[in-house]
A and B are shown apart, each in its own frame.
Chain A
Amino acid sequence: MAKKKTDEVNFAPRGIGDEKDGAVQKGVDLPSPTKKKHKSLGLSEDDLKAMYEQMYLQRRFEERAMQQYQKGKFGGFLHLYIGQEAISTGTVYALNDDDDIITAYRDHGWGLCRGITPKEGMAELFGKAPGCSKGKGGSMHFAKTENHFWGGYGIVGGHIPIGGGLAFANKYNQNGRISATFFGDGAVDQGALHETFNIANLWKLPAIFAVENNGYSMGTAARRHTVTEIVDRAKAYGMKGKVVNGMDVFSVYEAMKEVAEDVRKNSEPYFLEIRTYRYRGHSMSDPQKYRTKEELEEYQKVDPIERLKTYLKDEKILKDSEIQEIEDKVEDEVLEAVDFADNADFPEESALYDDMFAEDDPYFHK
């Protein structure tokens, strides 16, 4: 038998879009944004103002969080959502307030959008007692269940079945609610996604599964970690699927509105690939050698917040001065949150044992 030359053997990942190798690499190809204006989407001018404020809050909150982290005010991992704010905002405005949302560890934007106050959020980052998870979860585990935000989860793909379970309970209880599960492109390679998709369609669970494809799973470009277009995973499981521009809040809103209606009416799962970009490193310790500055700048040109700001001005909904007012208000609110977090108390040491079990006086093995 002929001996194979070993230098032909190569396990370098060759996934989606690899034919573009050599050209300037782009994280993701964005589909065209929707052409619809706010009125035909059913959004009022007040909605737009609120959405702008919300997106701006998410960004300023994280920029300030980053500063505090660099000052050493808190430790652990810090994964920033900056660049992806249109997805949380468009979704939360499109869904009902009692629809269930669950996400991965890049969760600050989601939490703020679902009613975690900047104070509760910042205090959580600082590990303080008034934090949304009493300082026990930290950056990766924001949650506010009373607002149907079931939290951020740190094991890649681990929460995808749980999102299915939220939908299962809703169907079981026939309460008309749906669940929406968000995860990164890295998570689509996990078995958990495939098992969940199969069961979700088998049992017709009223669930939206949405990948926030920001082009990278840590330092690995999507084209190097996954084969075929991600949205095509839907076909394999007989699910509907579509690709959405995640740098445009109107596009996310429009898609989510339609999909939520479909899922609610037909009680069956739906898969969305929402394409976006993260401006910051994977986490604070990432030197980002895997991408170019030019690539980052390309996406910053289609920044979701700038985009909405331009729209607000072009449509004469807000004047520059009114936008400035919103931004100042948000900035104050975030700075207050930082102050609050800084001055808040850490949990009592006895809190270490709280919340482990449902019992007031649980047994611990010594």
Chain B
Amino acid sequence: MAELQFREAIKEAIDEEMAREEKVFIMGEEVAEYNGAYKATEGLLDKYGYKRVIDTPISELGFAGIGVGAAMNGLRPIVEFMTFNFAVLAADQIINHASKAGYMTGGQISMPIVFRGPNASAGQLGATHSVAYDSMYAHFPGLKVIYTSEPDDAKGLLKSAIRDDNPVLFMESEQMYGMKGEVSDEEDYIIPIGKGKIKREGSDVTVVAHGKMYHVAKQAAAQLEKDGVEVEIIDPRTVKPLDLPLIIESIKKTNRCVVVDEAHPFAGFAAEIGFLIQREAFDYLDAPVQRVTLPDVNAPFSKPLFDAWLPSAKNVIDAVNQVTYRN
């Protein structure tokens, strides 16, 4: 095992896949000469040159769509967005084209493309730079959505995403690029898309949390342990396809569930999980499923407001107390 930062794990995955397969290339704003806005592509230009590590203008729709066309025509593009907040400009290419071309042409077209970059909010960046998009993209058929919480998952899943013959949205968190974690040094380390992981075993309540929220849940679990509550944390890792059986199995054991999600509440990931649990495991529930999400409000800049806006460990503890009838 090696200790790697998130950004290093991502770079390793890209590097290994580029070395393995000539058709893989990466493009995006500042990915080449600047070595990446968040340094996730550091050194790749030196290694692979201007043909395969490509700086683009600030033209999200244009270069995302060029990626789509290149993928149709046999290449395997990795398109980096400086954040998914800016990828909204490219949403037409992702939602209307990448996700649908194969289906509309009766399977004639394959779309092996990865769109990746930071998702959701970083510290106090204001309303246009703080939206979590995994729920939104998961709404559309034809797209796979991954939002990982640890460097090891990032490496194994990004390699899978690059090899996948479908469009994959691979989300990272700007605040997590420097976060370190043990990463497998197994040669060609692959984690299959669609497999979640029990990241903490516990018997009293299941907390489902992915991306940055996994760390919030972990904090809450450590706190709750002191009060004698054993939290099981499931990180689905892949939002879509979702490892529902893993979640259901856990609920059969704990009979209680809290979903922690970095998106807004309405029609989001947490709403979907809540529905699926009541459909699949209604008889096992001892309390209604609770969720912890952002409020139905845009991101504020001001520090105390921003802190109140983001889901916190305290919010998770409150929700756990509610489903365990401890308050």
Count the B residues whose beta carbon is within 8 Å of the partner chain — how many? 45
- The reply to whether A366 and B265 form a contact with Cβ atoms under 8 Å apart is yes
- The reply to whether B305 and A136 form a contact with Cβ atoms under 8 Å apart is yes
Give Cα A131 to B126, complex, Å. Answer: 14
B43-59: CB near A (< 8 Å → 1, else 0) gives 00000011100110111
Contact A349 to B308, CB < 8 A, known contacts A156-B86, A219-B34: yes
- The reply to whether A347 and B304 form a contact with Cβ atoms under 8 Å apart is yes
Stretch at the interface among A8-16, A84-92, A272-280: A8-16
- The reply to whether A75 and B58 form a contact with Cβ atoms under 8 Å apart is no
The verdict on B282 contacting chain A, using a C-beta distance below 8 Å, is: no
**Interface of chain A: mostly helix, strand, loop or mixed:** loop
The verdict on B42 contacting chain A, using a C-beta distance below 8 Å, is: no
Give Cα A5 to B296, complex, Å. Answer: 55
The verdict on B321 contacting chain A, using a C-beta distance below 8 Å, is: no
Contact A136 to B58, CB < 8 A, known contacts A11-B50, A218-B29, A219-B30: no
A153: chain B residues within 8 A (beta carbon): 128
The listed residue (B124, B126, B264, B295) touching A352 by CB distance below 8 A is: B295
Chain A, 16-41, CB within 8 A of any chain B CB = none
B59: chain A residues within 8 A (beta carbon): 189-191
The verdict on A351 contacting chain B, using a C-beta distance below 8 Å, is: yes
Taking CB as reference atom, which chain A residue is nearest B129? Answer: A154
The verdict on B37 contacting chain A, using a C-beta distance below 8 Å, is: yes
A133: chain B residues within 8 A (beta carbon): 301
Give Cα A192 to B90, complex, Å. Answer: 12
Minimum C-beta distance from A154 to chain B (A): 4
- The reply to whether A141 and B301 form a contact with Cβ atoms under 8 Å apart is yes
B1: chain A residues within 8 A (beta carbon): none
The verdict on B2 contacting chain A, using a C-beta distance below 8 Å, is: no
Give Cα A191 to B64, complex, Å. Answer: 13
- The reply to whether A136 and B266 form a contact with Cβ atoms under 8 Å apart is no
The listed residue (A7, A75, A225) touching B124 by CB distance below 8 A is: A75
Contact A347 to B302, CB < 8 A, known contacts A137-B126, A189-B57: yes
- The reply to whether B126 and A10 form a contact with Cβ atoms under 8 Å apart is no
Chain B, 273-310, CB within 8 A of any chain A CB = 295-298, 300-306, 308-309
Give Cα A238 to B34, complex, Å. Answer: 36
Which 10 interchain pairs have the tightest Cβ spacing? A138-B301, A127-B302, A189-B57, A135-B302, A219-B34, A76-B124, A12-B50, A365-B296, A225-B57, A154-B128
Listed A/B pairs (26) with beta-carbon separation below 8 Å: A6-B51, A10-B49, A11-B27, A11-B50, A12-B32, A76-B125, A127-B303, A127-B304, A135-B301, A137-B126, A138-B301, A140-B125, A186-B57, A190-B58, A190-B89, A218-B37, A220-B29, A220-B30, A220-B33, A225-B55, A225-B57, A346-B302, A352-B297, A356-B298, A365-B265, A366-B265
Given contacts A135-B302, A155-B85, 13 further A-B contacts (CB under 8 A): A7-B51, A127-B305, A133-B301, A136-B302, A136-B305, A157-B89, A158-B89, A186-B57, A191-B59, A352-B300, A353-B295, A356-B298, A365-B296
